[in-house]
Amino acid sequence: MRAFFKIIRWENLVVIILAQSFLHFLLLNKLVQTVGYQLQLSILQLGMLILSSVLIAAAGNVYNDILDLEVDKINKPKKLIVPTRISLDKAKLIYGSFSAIGFSLAVILAFQLDFYQLAAIQFIVILLLRLYSRQLKRSILVGNLLIAFLTAFSVFIVYLYNLVGILNDPITMAGVQKQLPFIFNLTAVYVVFAFISNLIRELIKDAEDIQGDKIFGFQTFAVHYGVQRTAVLARIFNAVLAIGLLGFTYYSFSMDWYYLGVYLVVALLVPLIYFELSAQKAKSKQDFHALSDLSKIIMVAGILSMQVFSMQF
């Protein structure tokens, strides 16, 4: 069981669960309730959406490990799971089962919402994750951008499904119509945060894994330009994220959302500054591993800010 949870990257799946459930309950539903309405997506349907997202993400992680057997022997020999702790056949079975169940849940949910095109989204995600593992992760920035996009989209998809539910109910649509632009803008803040923060982590992970990637001919940004330039690029995106958060912090204080403003300063802006300073000195694999852990903490802190935001209403 321990190897199973490691191969599916359970920590990353918990982040997806938190991001999707927090967005639904603490932001979208809370804002809709302020005008006297409820989201039309039921708890069961939300659970199906989250489970579908988690299973497909887990399947992508397993598939990535299947294709990276040799390179992982160099990049993380002590953490190797396939085929040392889980056989290749079992890994393939996990991948196939999780992908099939995740897509089936998406199909059922799409039919329940009477919007069949939604089912295509999860199918496309499955294909993109396969394409990433087979080819795009070996290209300069393309794979990094794709994973960052899919991570951000896992947040946006909750808004998308809820919007379909609202559109299916004319009464709710009429009642929350004035709230929708603000709801979209707030969702967009978290989607952009998820995209940039994950892109930073993907760059750092490439710098951490440069040894094995170089041997097997991967053309990642770190392999092509070196770890120092990779750190510089990560710092640039980190600075962009910090500037954006500074603007949102100012907006929070201007709206008298003092709890949120203080939280953003302490839990996000300070760690981002620390990341910037640490990245300047990063040289070894251990340095980049520490930065990767820090970037994950920043991502979780961003998700938890939804809880603080909900306290303002």
**Do residues 21 and 46 touch, judged by C-beta distance below 8 A?**
yes
Q: Give the Å distances, CA to CA, from 200 to 50, 114, 196.
A: 25, 38, 6
- Residue 79 makes CB contacts below 8 A (sequence gap 6+) with 6, 72
Q: Tell me the C-alpha distance between 73 and 211, whole Å.
A: 11
Q: Which two tokens stand for residue 231?
A: 């750190």
Name the one residue in this structure whose structure tokens are 């996009």.
149
Q: What is the pLDDT of residue 84?
A: 86
Tokens of 39: 């989201």
Is residue 37 within 8 Å of 169, Cβ to Cβ?
Answer: no
* Structure-block tokens of residue 293: 């852990």
Packing angle between helix 180-208 and helix 227-254, nearest 10 degrees? Answer: 160
Number of Cβ atoms within 10 Å of the Cβ of 172 = 18
The pLDDT tens digits along the chain (313 residues) read: 889 999 999 999 999 999 999 999 999 999 999 889 999 999 999 999 999 999 999 999 999 999 988 888 888 877 789 888 999 999 999 999 999 999 999 999 999 999 989 999 999 999 999 999 999 998 999 999 999 999 999 999 999 999 999 999 999 999 999 999 999 999 999 999 999 999 999 999 999 999 888 888 888 999 999 999 999 999 999 999 999 999 999 999 999 999 999 999 999 999 999 999 999 999 999 999 999 999 999 999 999 999 999 988 7
Q: State which H helix or E strand residue 161 sits in.
A: helix 142-167
The number of residues making up the chain comes to 313
